[in-house]
Amino acid sequence: MAMWKYIVSKCLRSLSFYIGVIFFTFFLLNIPVLFYGLSPMCFVYGLDLKHPLGMELMHQDIAKWGYVQHPDVAEWINMCFRHMMNCLSGDFGHSYLTQRLVSNDLAERIANTSLLVGMSLFTSLLIGSALVAREEDNESGKTSKISQISSQITRSTPIYWLGMVVLFAGAYALPEQFGIGFPEFGTISYEVWNASLTTNSGGIMIFIDVLFHLVLPMSILTLSGTSIIYSTLKTNLSEKLTIERATIDYVKGISSEYNFYLSLKSSLQVIKEWFPVFISTVVLVEVVFTWRGVGNYLFHSILLMDYPAIRGCIITLSLFVILANLIFDIAFNLLMNREKILNPLERCELRATNYERFFVEKCR
């Protein structure tokens, strides 16, 4: 299959998954309505009426989502259709808490979550790859044992507890011992924000302060990501590309480059399966460090039963996973095509070289 056809088919598949997530959220939010006899109007008024919308916004959402007091089958279908169309257009309704469109609240937070996820994954990949490369140069094997033990400890430690430990160490212990620490909450300091409004270098001040706030939450995600990437690369790359393995494969007509692409493809598949777990970890980390992202927004929306915000957060986080899977699938296909090209060509070349050496030795 041509590459462009593969990309188009994967994009259509990702779109179908996205539509399925939207369809799933409709039934997820309507479970109380279906099984406990509540009215769909609670999606506008709220169950506890602590954060009711204004009358104008209330009537807008009732008309937009097709809510009625006691819906029949046709009205349920109409509500489901309106739910699908509104969510596909990026309209999730008005938040009970902020009285704003949920899409506007999410637009302000997606960049923060993307920054946290992207920087953590990039740092994890660098550290994990560096550890594997260093261990290959270390003949004693002591570093390997230490890295494996620390990797197992990190993977078995609850992220929420580990986040509290890092929060205590970075925000309380460091200032007490050295007078320098990291912010304990938020994404940016109010003092820096107010000062940036009165100076020409306000953008630089905000950028530096956001990076300063990013250190603690990113360190937790980096620990989690490094342990997975390290163990994956160690298993699929390091152990399969040893000198003994390369010698055996060379005799069989398998080049080290072909074996490298084959192992990298297996590593990519493992990381793809781990990424949804990583996104759930991001939600916990944002809650611990009150990082102003989508995960923190979802947590507080669940506490307040802010249904439109819950709907928007679930669909947005699912979109993160769907897009990541699309990128992984395209990269996987590129590696597989490269592997197919290398396999027959290099096997023929290596076998020809082996036969040539065999006849030369016989003639001698």
Q: What is the DSSP string of 296-326?
A: HHHHHHHHTT-HHHHHHHHHHHHHHHHHHHH
Of all residues in the chain, what percent are helix, strand and coil, respectively (each to 5)? 80, 0, 20
* Residue 200 · residue 189 · CB < 8 Å: no
Per the structure block, which two tokens stand in for 245?
């393995």
Indicate the SS3 state at residue 161: helix
End-to-end CA separation in angstroms for the chain: 49
* Residue 219 · residue 166 · CB < 8 Å: yes
pLDDT number for residue 145: 63
φ, ψ at 94 (rounded to 5°): -100, 140
Q: What is the DSSP string of 171-189?
A: IIIHHHHHS----SS-SS-
Per the structure block, which two tokens stand in for 48?
């506890």
**Cα gap 154→222, rounded to integer Å:** 11
**Cα gap 319→347, rounded to integer Å:** 41
Q: What is the DSSP letter of 238?
A: I
Q: Which of 114, 106, 160, 95 is nearest to 301 (CA)?
A: 95
For 237-264, letters b (16+ CB in 10 Å) and e give bbebeeeeebeebeeebbbeebbbbbbb
pLDDT number for residue 29: 80
pLDDT number for residue 243: 45
**Cα gap 183→200, rounded to integer Å:** 24
* Residue 296 · residue 290 · CB < 8 Å: yes
**Cα gap 147→149, rounded to integer Å:** 6
Indicate the SS3 state at residue 198: coil
* Residue 116 · residue 291 · CB < 8 Å: yes
For domain 103-301, the CATH class is mainly alpha
pLDDT number for residue 151: 64
Q: Residue ranges per domain, the chain?
A: 103-301
Q: How distant, in Å, are the alpha carbons of 35, 73, 167, 312, 334 from that of 29?
A: 11, 17, 34, 12, 39
Any idea which residue has 């620390």 for tokens? 150
Which residue pairs, CB below 8 angstroms and at least 24 apart, start in 30-36?
none
Q: What is the DSSP letter of 100?
A: S
C-alpha torsion angle, residues 131, 134, 140, 143 (rounded to 10): -20
**Cα gap 280→289, rounded to integer Å:** 15
**pLDDT tens for the 364 residues of the chain, in order:** 567 787 888 889 889 999 999 998 888 887 766 666 666 666 666 544 444 566 677 777 788 888 887 778 888 888 889 989 988 988 888 887 788 888 999 998 999 999 999 999 889 888 887 877 776 656 545 556 666 666 666 666 677 677 777 777 777 777 767 667 777 777 888 887 777 777 777 778 888 888 888 888 888 888 888 888 887 777 766 555 554 444 444 444 445 555 566 666 677 777 888 888 888 888 888 888 888 899 999 998 888 888 888 889 999 999 989 998 888 888 777 766 665 555 554 555 545 455 445 444 545 5
**Cα gap 105→318, rounded to integer Å:** 17
Task: Please count the residues of the chain.
Answer: 364
φ, ψ at 171 (rounded to 5°): -100, -15
